[in-house]
Amino acid sequence: MKSNTSRPSLKQVAKHAGVSHQTVSRVINGESNVSLATKNKVQKSINKLGYVRNLSAKALASGKFNNLGILNLNSTLYGPTTLYTSVQKFAHEKHYNISSYHIENLSNSQIIDGVNYLHSKGVDGILVIVPRLKVEIDTKTFSHLKIPILIRDSSELPSYLKLNHRTISSIATTYLIDNGHTKIAFIGGPETWYDGIERLLGWKSTMKLNGLSTNRYVHGEWTAKSGYILARKVLEKYPDTTAVYSASDIIGLGVLKYLNENKKLKMAVISSDEMPESAYYFPSLTTVRYDYVELARRLCNATISLVQGKALDYYSGEIEVKLLVRDSTR
């Protein structure tokens, strides 16, 4: 028995919207050469008619699944979680489905296993937003998969698709120096993480440039507990320290707790991340903000461009970073 209802076609959507079916196709595929007014008109017709793409037929015809793989670290850290949710949002806006996989531990072997798993799920390309290790993966490892694979912080990526961690550290350290501090300690994350090492190197180079000692640094984990323990360690060894640069806001939370408990409230503390909660620490935390959402947008667009066989989207500059001065350095 035949159903009285049928799925509306692309041509029916085009007729309803008063545009060509090629225009509807461009809107559905997230192409940029369509005006916002036309996009809105087509989307209203899609919603009104209940149009649903036949992805199975599309995959058979084109060899594409309209599906992106996202590999992320199973973590509650601000950076990985913000990147992941933002990439999902931008991919859906481009009418791509998402297949995601979260690895439990940060190691190159787990990243390789995760990429192979996502490939087996039928994806057109894979975006690896797992934080990079100091020793990066050779991208040739994945050449046999025959799909685009974009890896966050890869040395092969142009500068406008990644954060400049040394610039972030330089801004924070320079601010402290400009405010008269010469004995500045650095409290960092794991030495195996690329961004942890880069932030240390940014601090060191800025200190050296100003003729200051680079002995006051310690490494730990991206946790408040680690910040608390390392603050005690570095300040017991260097009691004349007047300022601390913590490599992340969550580390800075632990640093502030240690200083509060030990009546060292005149110590200046600066950080980097700009977690929403950092404005409500006690005291509120001076930090360097970098735009994880914009980074996610650029990485997502770049991955889709590679999937579609286009050149990488070009952006005029690096991801913006901005110093937010609060009570912890006043």
296 and 277 within one domain: no
Asked whether residue 42 is assigned to any structural domain, the reply reads yes
Containing domain of residue 37, as a range? 10-52
| CA–CA dist 53, 220 (Å, integer) | 49
Asked whether residue 57 is assigned to any structural domain, the reply reads no
Asked whether residue 4 is assigned to any structural domain, the reply reads no
CATH number for the domain that contains residue 280: 3.40.50.2300
Asked whether residue 1 is assigned to any structural domain, the reply reads no
275 and 133 within one domain: no
Tokens of 154: 């890869």
CATH number for the domain that contains residue 22: 1.10.260.40
272 and 186 within one domain: yes
pLDDT one digit per residue (tens) for the chain, 330 residues: 333 346 678 788 888 989 888 888 777 766 667 887 888 888 888 878 877 665 545 544 455 668 999 999 999 999 999 999 999 999 999 989 999 999 999 999 999 999 999 998 889 999 999 999 999 998 889 998 999 999 999 999 999 999 999 999 999 999 999 999 999 999 999 999 999 999 999 999 999 999 999 999 999 999 999 999 999 999 999 999 999 999 999 999 999 999 999 999 899 999 999 999 999 999 999 999 999 999 999 999 999 999 999 988 788 899 999 999 999 998
pLDDT of residue 60: 41
Tokens of 53: 């793409």
152 and 297 within one domain: yes
Domain total in the chain: 3
278 and 169 within one domain: yes
299 and 154 within one domain: yes
What pTM, to 2 d.p., does this model score? Answer: 0.81
Query: Cα-Cα-Cα-Cα dihedral of 19, 22, 23, 28, to 10°?
Result: 130
88 and 48 within one domain: no
286 and 316 within one domain: no
296 and 150 within one domain: yes
pLDDT of residue 283: 96
pLDDT of residue 13: 86
pLDDT of residue 5: 45
Beta strands across the sheet bearing 125-128: 97-103, 67-73, 125-128, 149-151
176 and 31 within one domain: no
pLDDT of residue 196: 94
